[in-house]
């Protein structure tokens, strides 16, 4: 039984990801899952059967028009995000929309503006920002344990799931971009990207991105729906330490290597390189499901009015990088500025 003051939340989209979202919304104390929706009755049916206390509908307009619904979590295809979020905000609902916020910077900025004007919480489902290993690495970076970061290299590849409306860049790319944004607290200045469409003429199924940050940090991101095995592996190389984060490892997802190179003064102003190879530590990690933390954070932001960790600003920044990467793909890897003008670069954190 939920408390009388519960925030009434509707979940829209019962496809691949939606049922995970719905299970977590239902588990967060303080949320009342009041409605589930999918245009496809076949997808809606099993979810409706599992949550009989929630009303079910195939028409999202029922939710927009229901003044008893406070908030909506949208897990619909990327191409629908802009129109559905816009209608939801216009209807006075708080919104959590799956990544990415929209498919163009103009649309993403429009949504951010509308949420601010209507004083509604708008949050983006950059789930990895709520994952314990990602949060632990953020702690290590902020505590100065890794030292100044030289570069980050990340691989997110598997066989499928091919999306019908967006390329691998827009499907898997938001994960790494949101993680990098969260860890480094800066937006890349420049991006270059190459990719290929092996199975669909219009949508790349493989993309490689190189990002350059204002601090000089370099990041390399490999994305593919066409790989022999699933890999989720990130290396962070800093002056003090190096970190390997493997999200598929059941327990030791993070390994911190006390490794590096030191320059020792030698004779006549010359330097000698010494290789440091110390302990390897694997920090203890919380096991809370990231989606649960994300849903609980959405509730907290609605109730307190605080800015979500995955705010509209973050959502816009990530769409901006994706759009620049997309431009680079069209020009066969030519580097593209993420912001068009220098004043905008100076505005980045």
- The contact set with ligand NAD (CB under 6 A) reads 12-18, 37-40, 43, 60, 75-78, 80, 84, 98-99, 125, 127, 171
CB of 174 to ligand NAD, least distance (A): 7
CB of 79 to ligand NAD, least distance (A): 9
CB of 1 to ligand NAD, least distance (A): 28
| Tokens describing residue 175 | 């994960």
Beta strand pairing call for 254-265 and 242-246 = antiparallel
Instruction: Collect contacts of 210-216 with beta carbons under 8 A, ≥24 apart.
Output: 211/180, 211/321, 212/188, 213/184, 213/186, 213/187, 213/188, 213/189, 214/186, 214/187, 214/189, 214/345, 214/348, 215/149, 215/184, 215/186
Q: Which is nearer to ligand NAD, 121 or 190 (CB)?
A: 121
Q: Which is nearer to ligand NAD, 16 or 198 (CB)?
A: 16
CB of 298 to ligand NAD, least distance (A): 13
CB of 264 to ligand NAD, least distance (A): 46
Q: Which is nearer to ligand NAD, 48 or 78 (CB)?
A: 78
CB of 192 to ligand NAD, least distance (A): 24
Cα angle at 128 between 7 and 175, to 5 degrees? 120
Closest CA to 315 of 132, 126, 189: 126
Q: Is the peptide bond before 100 cis (omega within 30 degrees of 0)?
A: yes
Q: Which is nearer to ligand NAD, 9 or 14 (CB)?
A: 14
HEC letters along 12-61 = ECCCCCHHHHHHHHHHCCCEEEEEEECCCHHHHHHHHHHCCCCEEECCCH
Answer whether 28's CB lies under 8 Å from 296's CB.
Answer: yes
Please give the residue whose beta carbon sits closest to ligand NAD in the complex: 15
Q: Which is nearer to ligand NAD, 81 or 320 (CB)?
A: 81
Q: Which is nearer to ligand NAD, 35 or 37 (CB)?
A: 37
């Amino acid at each position: 039984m939920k408390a009388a003051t519960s925030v009434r939340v509707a979940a829209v989209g019962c496809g691949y990801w939606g049922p995970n979202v719905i299970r977590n919304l239902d588990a967060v104390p303080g949320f009342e899952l009041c409605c589930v929706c999918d245009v496809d009755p076949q997808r809606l049916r099993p979810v409706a059967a599992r949550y009989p206390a929630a009303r079910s509908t195939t028409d999202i307009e029922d939710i927009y028009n229901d003044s008893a619904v406070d908030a909506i979590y949208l897990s619909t295809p990327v191409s629908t995000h802009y129109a559905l979020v816009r209608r939801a905000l216009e209807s006075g609902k708080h919104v959590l929309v799956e990544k990415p916020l929209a498919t163009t910077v103009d649309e993403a900025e429009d949504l951010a503006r509308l949420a601010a004007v209507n004083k509604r919480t708008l949050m983006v489902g950059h789930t990895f920002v709520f994952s314990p290993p990602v949060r632990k690495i953020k702690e290590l970076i902020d505590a100065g344990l890794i030292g100044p970061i030289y570069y980050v290299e990340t691989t997110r590849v598997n066989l499928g799931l091919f999306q019908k409306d967006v390329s691998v860049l827009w499907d898997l790319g938001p994960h790494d971009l949101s993680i990098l944004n969260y860890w480094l607290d800066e937006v890349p200045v420049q991006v270059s990207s190459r990719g290929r469409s092996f199975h669909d003429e219009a949508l790349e199924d493989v993309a490689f991105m190189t990002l350059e940050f204002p601090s000089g940090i370099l990041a390399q991101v490999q994305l593919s729906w066409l790989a022999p095995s699933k890999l989720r592996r990130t290396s962070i190389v800093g002056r003090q330490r190096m970190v390997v984060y493997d999200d598929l490892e059941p327990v030791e997802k993070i390994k911190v290597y006390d490794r590096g190179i030191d320059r020792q003064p030698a004779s006549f102003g010359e330097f000698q390189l010494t290789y440091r190879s110390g302990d390897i530590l694997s920090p203890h990690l919380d096991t809370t499901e990231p989606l649960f933390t994300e849903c609980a954070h959405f509730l907290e932001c609605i109730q307190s009015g605080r800015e979500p960790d995955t705010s509209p600003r973050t959502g816009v920044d990530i769409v901006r990088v994706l759009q620049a990467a997309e431009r680079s793909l069209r020009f066969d890897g030519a580097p593209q500025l993420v912001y068009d003008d220098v004043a905008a670069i100076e505005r980045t954190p």
